[in-house]
Amino acid sequence: MSEKKRLNPDIELKVEVDGTMFVAWVNTDLTEGRGASIPISHCQSRETAIRNGRGKDVQGSDASIDEVPLLRVGQFQYGPVRVQYPSKSDELADAKNKEREELFARLRRLGITEDELKVLEAGFEEVRSRG
């Protein structure tokens, strides 16, 4: 369902290491530590990462700190990220939202006012809250 966009093949991107940074990592399951590790703080200083991660990991423990390369691509800097992909229910909700937006766009073209659309939106929300 996700679209992958390709960069223009004529554009040449230069990737280079632009120093290092310190990342504080925590587990997504703060009770038992059975989740995935995610970064919560990207810092120039190890001490800043330690301070930002203090008491933030599983059962109040301190986050783990790693020194990682900082990459420069063009004018932007990049470090470690963890992309969270949609669940099946997220994908279904996205599809429903897209359908609703397309319906509202058609209604706008037919001359429905924004006030009337707000009334319809409230009805959608009421139906959604019922499950």
* pLDDT tens per residue across span 60-71: 999 999 999 988
Other residues' Cβ atoms within 10 Å of the Cβ of residue 84: 10
Supply 12's token pair.
């040449």
Query: DSSP letter at 28?
Result: S
Query: What's the mean pLDDT when you consider all of the chain?
Result: 86
Asked whether residue 55 carries a pLDDT value surpassing 80, the answer given is yes
Q: Decide if 35 contacts 29 (C-beta within 8 A).
A: yes
pTM of this prediction exceeds 0.75: no
- d(CA 30, CA 75) in angstroms, rounded, equals 36
Supply 60's token pair.
């109040």
- d(CA 115, CA 118) in angstroms, rounded, equals 5
